[in-house]
Structure 1
Amino acid sequence: MSESNHDPRFVHLSDAHIGHRQYGVKKRRDDMYMSFNTSVYEAVEESEVDFAVFGGDLFHNKNVNARALSDAEEGLSRFEDADVPVVAVRGNHDANLYKEDLNWLEYLHSRGKLILLEADLSGEEAAFEKHDFDDPGTSSGYVDLDGVRVFGLQYLGQRTSDSLSDVADAIEKVNEEEGEPEATILIGHFGVEGHIPGMGGGISFNALEPVEEVVDYLALGHLHKKYSHGNWVFNPGSLEAHDTRQAQWELGYFIVDVEDGEISSEFHESKRRPFFQINFEVDAHDSPDELESAFAEEVEEHLSDLEKVQRKPHFQRSGEKRDPVIDLRLEGLLQFNRSRLDTDSLREIVEEKTGALYVNLNDATESKETASIIQELDGGEDAVRNEQGQIDRGKLESAVFQRLAGQDSQYGEKEEDVADTLSVVKKSVLADENPESVAETIKKRRRDLFDQGGDQE
């Protein structure tokens, strides 16, 4: 156990998602690196932490490319240069739930860039192996740093809840054998229920009770929202927002002090790119020109609110504003044929007026023709709407094709198969497939459905 002549201080951060090229935009990939690297800089240079704990999802993709690995190593090297050990666990984005090969966190552990912790759950009882700085292997179970003992629990998905009692027993066993530390930390990659409305699957407070008996600080990752519970459960959220909803949340990292076994934490917001949402109702506009004119005016009206969103913590370290990501949602009943709705023109209006890095357009409008068809379908609107209440274009197309097929008696009870064939043919035509290939697909499907033989046309 390393010794310190002052009370230990650590930074708790999580969910950097390095390598996430959101929307295919290069600058969004750069944002993931910048928010991570800036947070590391602030923790080291401004807060002067003694060590760091990371709650998982360092990377966004399991197949890490060279650029993402380089970005991660640069941030970790800043910790290394300041002699600040980094202790981490595996998140669901970092590696497969069931191990198949050496993952990138194990690679970083073996090179001394971080200390990867995980519980050994292979036997009848859970166990934690002490970290050996001279022979680290590919992972460890726990590590002692500045009088604080840190344990790690890797991402287990639905198995997490069933494992917590055994994990608590294993922690207690280590502390009994090795002596009680000044404070005990458990890092885990899972969410606690009740902190994000409408999101299920979190761990219940009852399941956490065994852990509470033996842990002073539960350092979580996974949910991209900052929350805490009972002055012992802490989740800092992601370092970058990954959609407009997340952009409304506090996101960042905790600076935590341990004094005489007592925990005190201070939250710091990370510097990240702003998101902004524009909703536009199309109902009142009778022509495309009228719609575009009204749309441009409405975007103008949003600029003052956008200005507020672009303030801190969204500034770059230079103090300059970052161009926003705009979520544009079109809603309502179109008063003209859908083919005349120029969404590219609407995107250009937003980009010109807001300087947006990217405009993510969600077209949730319905045309009069669509509304009429929906009312005539079996099941009405419920048959073609998704869980968010939006028209599912795939379901609508399938329902229309099936209805058309059902009107022809020669198809008997095979209208679903005929509808599927029509959908396949449509996709083939839109993909500019060879007409002869499309015709052959139709012939084969018809033979399979009606057993008419190979010579039928």
Structure 2
Amino acid sequence: MARFLHLADIHLGFDRYDSKERTRDFFYALEDAINQYAIAEQVDFVVIVGDLFEHRNIQPGTLNQAQHCLRELKDAGIPVIAIEGNHDNRPYGVKTNWLRYLADWGLLILLEPGDVASGEPLYSPWKDGFGGYIDLDCGVRVIGSQWYGASAPQAIEQIAEAMQDLPPSPGQTVFLLHHGMEGQIARYQGALRYSDVLPLKQAGVDYLALGHIHKNYEQEGWIFNPGSIEANNIEESNFKRGVYLVEISDRGVQAELKTDFYQRSIVRLRLKTKGQETLEELEQAALTMIQTAIQQKQIVPDDAPIVELRIEGEVGFDRLDFDVRQLQRQLQQMSNALIFLLKYEVDSVAYGSPLSEDASRLQIEQEVFTDLLSGYTQYRKRASELAQGLIDLKDRQLEGRSEGELFELVETILNRENS
């Protein structure tokens, strides 16, 4: 029996939201996961199925984070086997990248299929830092691949054929593939069908270790995707994700998803407007929602969470009058959020009174002004009366009345409103 830890989509160097602390979250998650479920569990090996890094070009601090974690595993005598993902693969025509750098320093085993077009075999045993597969002392063969994109189905057919020509495996076979299966997330083009990966099973793969999709899933007892170790955006906070602690033997596969490691709390809230609220009432409703979430322990300020508040619906005032930035600062201070995202996605209330085809110009003007005024909470109750006042103002301006007389009429209309 062999035991290993299956990681994918670590994304060290994540830099969305322009927060250094959020960038460090991905390092803390990796460090905690390997300490709890690799080193403490004394696994035989660790696999990283693509996207160790967020970018091909990384900052020195990001490289230090990777080296620190990999050295911890090396000091514990646990080999790390990795493949490239779409985020950290080398550009076409380039022979090296940061994964190759880490491999050259002996911190991981980078599995790379051969260049068939150049006359190399697709798979040769890993030796002196290079190769497409490795037979480990624990009796498991691990076979690597690369990022194939849309050509993955054709590549898998070639891989399955090449596997038939390999020497017999010493035991179970684990295959590393950075690609996603269909039906797991929306808006994902190029996902693999089950029939696309079945040739790998027929060629002897006991455990298909996937990456790429940041959501946990498994299929048919041999296909496993742990998901990312941290949420790369707010939407992913709803995904189940983690790392797999796996036991594999002649009796089969036991893969347990582990999620109890460092991950920053993410809270998503939604405030629905009805168009009846004043600007001040809407601001107060947002403040009250955050206060309630804190009281109910949904938001724990000491955890410095990431919070999203989405305001949706209609408002009875000019939507641009709402000072989103000022309210966002207030809510961030109240919640002590590391990142507070205030999504203001509303429409101004639209009114449209039905008019007959033979309506007079006066009737049309009356209804147009009434509809415009009714869109503002503070004018709605007196919309008809104020509409008539605007018509009077328009008529007097067309008659050439003096500015003083026009201002006097405006004052009269406003005084009526305040009386």
TM-score normalized by structure 1?
Answer: 0.72
- CA deviations over 1:425-447 (Å, ceiling 9, x no partner): xxxxxxxxxxxxxxxxxxxxxxx
Q: Identity over the aligned pairs, expressed in percent?
A: 31
**How far apart, in 2, do the equivalents of 1:189 and 1:321 lie?**
37
- 1:91 and 2:85 are equivalent in the alignment: yes
Aligned to 2:126: 131
**The residue matched to 1:106 in structure 2 has which SS?**
helix
> SS state of the match for residue 246, structure 2?
strand
- In the alignment, is residue 216 of structure 1 matched against residue 206 of structure 2? yes
Per the alignment, residue 246 of structure 2 pairs with 256
- Which of 157, 171, 179 is equivalent to 2:163? 171
Residue correspondence of structure 1 range 321-340 to structure 2 within 5 A: 322-340=303-321
Q: Secondary structure at the match of 1:92?
A: coil
Q: Which runs of 5+ in 2 are unaligned?
A: 353-419
- Show the counterpart of 1:38: 32
Q: Is the 8 A contact 1:285 1:291 kept in 2?
A: no
One of 99, 105, 108 as aligned partner of 1:111: 105
1:299 equivalent in structure 2: 290
How far residue 196 of structure 1 moved from its aligned partner, in angstroms, is: 2.1
Q: Distance in 1 between matches of 2:79 and 2:349?
A: 62
Question: Residue 277 of structure 1: CA displacement?
Answer: 1.0
Give the corresponding residue for 2:190. Answer: 201
SS at match of 1:102: coil
Counterparts of 1:41-190 in structure 2, within 5 Å, are: 41-96=35-90, 98-123=92-117, 127-132=122-127, 135-136=128-129, 139-145=130-136, 146-174=138-166, 178-190=167-179
- Once residues 226 and 321 of structure 1 are traced to their aligned partners in structure 2, the CA distance between those partners, rounded to angstroms, is 28
SS of the residue corresponding to residue 165 of structure 2 reads helix
What is the distance in 2 between the residues matched to 1:100 and 1:300?
Answer: 53
1:341 aligns with 2:333: no
Of the candidates 316, 327, 333, which is equivalent to residue 352 of structure 1? 333
User: Quick one: which amino acid aligns to residue 260 of structure 1?
Assistant: D
Q: Deviations over 1:356-394 (max 9, x none)?
A: 11112322222358x99xxxxxxxxxxxxxxxxxxxxxx
What's the CA shift for 1:97?
5.2
- Aligned pair partner of 2:344 in 363, 368, 376: 363
Question: What is the alpha-carbon distance in structure 2 between the residues aligned to residue 122 and residue 280 of structure 1?
Answer: 57
- Paired with 2:212 and 2:59, the residues of 1 have a C-alpha distance of 22
Distance 1:366 1:125, change over 3 A: farther
User: Structure 2 CA distance, aligned partners of 1:22 and 1:183?
Assistant: 39
1:397 — aligned with what? none
Shift of residue 126, structure 1, vs aligned partner: 6.4
CA contact (8 A) 2:8 2:227 kept: yes
1:335 deviation in Å? 1.8
Relative to structure 1, is the Cα distance of residues 187 and 274 closer, same or farther in structure 2, using a 3 angstrom cutoff? same
Determine the structure 2 residue equivalent to 1:377. Answer: none
Q: Is the 8 A contact 1:126 1:167 kept in 2?
A: no
Mind listing any 5+ residue stretches in structure 1 that lack a counterpart? Answer: 1-6, 311-319, 373-457
Between the aligned partners of 1:291 and 1:308, the Cα distance in structure 2 is: 21
RMSD (CA atoms): 2.2
Q: Which residue of 2 aligns with 1:392?
A: none
Residue 363 of structure 2 corresponds to: none
The equivalent residue for 1:240 is: 230
Aligned to 2:8: 14
Asked if 1:288 corresponds to 2:279, the answer is yes
The one-letter amino acid of 1:351's match is Q
Return the offset for 1:321: 5.8
**C-alpha separation between the residues in 2 aligned to 1:43 and 1:363?**
41
Distance 1:206 1:125 in 2: 28
User: 1:182-234 CA deviation, whole Å, 9 max, x = no partner?
Assistant: 10111010001112245342101111110111200001110001111111100
**How far 1:331 moved relative to its partner?**
1.4
Distance verdict in 2 for CA 1:168–1:346, change over 3 Å: same
Counterpart-to-counterpart distance in 1, 2:25 and 2:255: 26
Distance 1:284 1:196 in 2: 34
Query: Structure 2 CA distance, aligned partners of 1:96 and 1:360?
Result: 34
Q: What is the CA distance between 1:121 and its match in structure 2?
A: 4.8
Q: What per-residue deviation string (whole Å, max 9, x for no partner) do you get for residues 256-280 of structure 1?
A: 1122362211111142111111222
Q: Residue in 2 aligned with 1:26?
A: 20
The CA distance in 2 between the partners of 1:192 and 1:253, in whole Å, is 18
Separation of aligned partners in 2, 1:202 and 1:106: 27
Cα gap change, 1:360/1:52 in structure 2, threshold over 3 Å: closer, same or farther?
same
> Residues of 1 paired with 2:228 and 2:113: CA distance?
24
Q: Number of aligned residue pairs: give it.
A: 348
2:360 alignment partner in structure 1: none
SS at match of 1:153: coil
Instruction: Tell me, in whole angstroms, the C-alpha distance in 1 between the residues paired with 2:95 and 2:49.
Output: 21
Could you tell me how far apart the structure 1 residues matched to 2:207 and 2:252 are? 10
Deviations 1:331-351 (A, max 9, x none): 122322233211122212321
Q: Distance in 1 between matches of 2:8 and 2:185?
A: 17
Verify the 8 A CA contact 2:275 2:313 in the aligned structure 1: no
Judged with a 3 Å threshold, the aligned counterparts in structure 2 of structure 1 residues 299 and 51 are, in CA distance, closer, same or farther, namely same
Q: Relative to structure 1, is the Cα distance of residues 248 and 154 closer, same or farther in structure 2, using a 3 angstrom cutoff? A: same
Question: What residue in structure 2 maps to residue 276 of structure 1?
Answer: 267
Which is higher, the Rg of structure 1 or of structure 2? Answer: 2
Hey, what does 2:364 align to over in structure 1? none
